[in-house]
Amino acid sequence: MPDLAVDLAPRNPRELVLKNPVIAASGCFGYGLEYAGVMDVARLGAFVSKGITPKPRSGNPMPRITETPAGMLNAIGLQNPGIRGFVKKYPRVWETWSVPAIVNISAEAVEDYALMARILDELPGIAGIEVNISCPNIAAGGYCFGWDAGMSADVTRAVRAATTLPLIVKLSPGAMDIVGVALAVEEAGADAISLINTLVGMSIDVKRRRPVLANATGGLSGPAIKPVAVRMVYQVAGAVRIPIVGMGGIMGLDDALEFFLAGASAVQIGTAIFAQPGMLVRVIDELGAWMDKEGIASLAEIVGAAHPRRPAIVEAGQVGMVDVAEVAAG
Amino acid sequence: MAREFDGEILACEPVMGDSTLMTVTLPRGMAGGMVAGQFVQILTRMDGSHDPLLRRPYSVYGVDPDTDTMRLLVRPYGRGSAWLAERQVGQTLDILGPLGNAFQISPRARNLLMVAGGVGAAPLVMLSEQALARGLSVTYLMGGMRAEALLAPALVPAAVEYVVATDDGSRGHRGFVTDLVPDYLSWADQIFACGPEAMFLSLRGVVMRHRVGGKPTVQVSVERGMACGLGACLGCVVETKRGMRTSCVDGPIYDMDEVVW
């Protein structure tokens, strides 16, 4: 059997070792319990909870979701019981599970991120924190934290100071300079980076002449955004040294492989779960079978392999060091 | 308990003008546990495509535990349902279910009134069968655009009083199905409704105007655009007097008085 294990926090003594690199993405897997009846949650590398906020939120008015070509828009509005309601309910359940549970946190002020991280730090049943920085910064007039390297670093530094838990910072594709943000959060103490969050989009109901979503705009996810996500993972992988968790429109093994080759050490699957919960385990099984067939002993062999200075597969079964320029020159 | 399974299409019967009553196989033993009001989510992807991306919810029209089958009422009005309506006998469907809660017949109820609009007829047929099996009296009101859009009387259990309304007056009462409701308000112990949102609003108006002491109670099947069907995405919420609830897990059946309309 090939080695599918990965540590997403190699610089952290508390480490975040996953038995395989397939993670259920935040917002698409509830708190894990919702899917426990329809699939074997224990097979996952990890799962990320729905986004938790300092106070309970009832979310946006309906409609909250709409289907788009090869994708969907959502504006759920972070409906959740708040950090205190969350703490009472879920960690005690997860403590009895073997699969690592990662908590996604969102806030509109730096100190609120830190407050939540402090609460989570000592709780049982929690393997790590994923910080959603695609939120409006109220102190900055609603400008999204994740669009700016300095504000992204501020959040990361505050959370890092509040907890020793493995820390994944989830980047926003709306960033002016995605590599700049990645480098800033790495410097500020992130153990890993996940990307991409949804792209802001809109659909308009032509008959009603109004946006379909009550919130007008929503986050675009699904296969439609995959090329954007692969590009951003590729760019960030060329700059940072910490592990990258790639996501955006993965619908099967081939999509996941693109992210590994672009430089992701693990992947998250989100929107695909809504239609096919069985896809998560299928990708894990197919990845192992594919590595066996390709004679790949460890996932590390293919992580980032699409980058120019890595060996490219020139012909079936033949591996050689080539520069992209050479390949392009034919 | 819900699961993902392949169901084979055993029969496709044209009904209600443009719709299809589809008989689909279930995993052994599942039919006996399914109750009226529940639904399944069907993957309606075109071959080799990511579209339509999300599953489509279908209320269960009926189940047969002896043959391990269920029946679904499919009306082609969107991409997903059009794809499904074109499926042929022998093809298989990727199904997630059974999902959702159920209509609740009160232990003290004797007389039940069904109010159906269009494909909303589906779960109320199954509920009528359950009620008849318990010896209760059922009146089934159905509304449609015209005579062909109605459920054929042969598809409604024989012991049910079946009364219809059409927009164009081509059969039964000319007007809305909810126009018929006042005549039954003093008779009915419970009302069960499934149909478009506009029908619920009209029904609510009629009931609120005429009922006495909160009786009869009304249960409605509230359909919202949904993604996961399992209560995870929170895309299909219904605003209730106790806060936001999902249409897929906490619903789709709600007491009309619980919903903030």
Q: Does B152 touch chain A (CB under 8 A)?
A: no
A and B: number of Cβ contacts within 8 A? 101
- Sheet (strand B190-194) strand order: B173-174, B161-166, B137-144, B111-117, B190-194, B217-221, B253-255
What positions of A carry a catalytic annotation? 135
Domain B111-221 in this protein, CATH class: alpha beta
Interval A95-148: pLDDT, tens: 999 999 999 999 999 999 999 999 999 999 999 999 999 988 888 888 899 999
User: What is the pLDDT of chain A when averaged over all its residues?
Assistant: 93
Question: Is residue B59 part of an annotated ligand binding site?
Answer: yes
Query: Domains of chain B: which residue ranges?
Result: 3-98, 111-221
3-state secondary structure of B153: helix
> Do B229 and B41 form a contact (C-beta atoms < 8 A)?
yes
Distance from CA of A146 to the nearest CA of B (A): 23
Q: Across the interface, do A34 and B231 touch by the CB < 8 Å criterion?
A: yes
Q: What pLDDT, on the 0 to 100 scale, is given for residue A320? A: 47
Which residues in chain B touch residue A278, judged by CB atoms under 8 angstroms apart?
A: 4
Select from B40, B41, B237, B240 the residue whose CB has the most chain A CBs within 10 Å, as the one to mutate to test that interface.
B237
Cis peptide before A13 (omega within 30 of 0): no
Q: Give me the pLDDT at residue A325, please.
A: 45
Domains in chain A, CATH or no CATH each: 6-329 (3.20.20.70)
Residue B109 to chain A, least CA–CA distance (Å): 34
Picking from B56, B81, B222, B234 by the largest number of A CB atoms within 10 A of its own CB, the best residue to mutate is B234
Would you say residue A318 has pLDDT above 60? Answer: no
pLDDT at A315: 56
Report yes or no: B242 at the A interface, CB cutoff 8 Å.
no
How far apart, in Å, are the Cα atoms of B249 and each of B29, B96, B236, B246? 22, 13, 10, 6
Tell me, what's the pLDDT at A283?
98
**A1-47 residue pLDDT tens:** 789 999 999 999 999 999 999 999 999 999 999 999 999 999 999 99
* pTM of structure: 0.93
Domains B3-98 and B111-221 share a fold: no
ipTM for the assembly: 0.93
- Give the whole-number percent of chain B exceeding pLDDT 90: 94
Per-residue pLDDT, B38 = 97
Task: Provide the pLDDT for residue A314.
Answer: 63
- In this structure, which topology does domain B3-98 adopt according to CATH? Elongation Factor Tu (Ef-tu); domain 3 (2.40.30)
Phi-psi region at B231: left, alpha or beta (left = phi > 0; alpha = psi -120 to 50): left
